[in-house]
A and B are shown apart, each in its own frame.
Chain A
Amino acid sequence: GAVVSQHPSRVICKSGTSVKIECRSLDFQATTMFWYRQFPKKSLMLMATSNEGSKATYEQGVEKDKFLINHASLTLSTLTVTSAHPEDSSFYICSARGSGGLDGYTFGSGTRLTVV
């Protein structure tokens, strides 16, 4: 149980375009989803927390207009990187939590974004 699917696994896009990353909970209802960013050899940096049906809560320093998060259903959250630039290149990882306890913090497989 507690499987989180993230797509795409890799994406290369041109500078100035937008990229959408999907995070789905496959076998549970994710009341809360988290979006992280990770630079090489660094730890996870929480970008935002999204609860189904409400606006995401962004961490300090994260541009909400640049990183659009939508959590429209209990199984799907999306992160859209708008007007991407090379400095947005990173490893983006989602995590989902259901209502069922401490083992519900499950990570997706991550998305490697490269902006050229």
Chain B
Amino acid sequence: QKEVEQNSGPLSVPEGAIASLNCTYSDRGSQSFFWYRQYSGKSPELIMFIYSNGDKEDGRFTAQLNKASQYVSLLIRDSQPSDSATYLCAVLIQGAQKLVFGQGTRLTINP
């Protein structure tokens, strides 16, 4: 089992709708979780991080964490074509410095 798993997609969402991206992780001791957005040919940029159970909102983005289910998600409200990118979930493994990345979900917002 991979340490961090994401559905590779592609996920296609109409403009204005809510895009829902999911990520599961295997290390129950993981403490911190990150969502990055990566446009083609560019490096990842941090959208948000979360470390407490529940929801964390930042503008159109909401991260949701459920440690009991080892599940973290990212919701994008009012999706825009500019949100089309690959979204990477990353987990800070307990006791380690490094982030472990999922394979990424390719999201396409259709005008």
Contact = CB atoms under 8 A, between A and B. Distances in A.
Given A44-B88, A49-B98, A97-B97, A103 B46 contact: yes
Contacts, number: 46
Given A42-B103, A44-B101, A49-B97, A109 B46 contact: no
B102 A34 contact: no
Interface in A93-116: 93, 95, 97, 102-103, 105-110, 112
Contact of A108 (B41, B43, B46): B43
Q: Main secondary structure on chain B at its contact with chain A?
A: strand
Nearest to B106: A41
Nearest to A46: B98
Contacts of B36: 107
Interface string A37-52: 0000011101001000
Contact of B49 (A44, A93, A103, A112): A103
Q: Main secondary structure on chain A at its contact with chain B?
A: strand
B44 interface: yes
A107 B98 contact: no
Interface in B71-111: 88, 90, 92, 97-104
Contacts of B102: 43
Nearest to A107: B43
B32 to A, nearest CB: 5
Nearest to B104: A43
Interface of A: 6, 32, 34, 42-44, 46, 49, 91, 93, 95, 97, 102-103, 105-110, 112
Interface of B: 32, 34, 36, 41-46, 49, 51, 88, 90, 92, 97-104
9 contacts: A34-B98, A42-B103, A43-B88, A44-B88, A44-B101, A102-B49, A103-B49, A105-B99, A109-B42
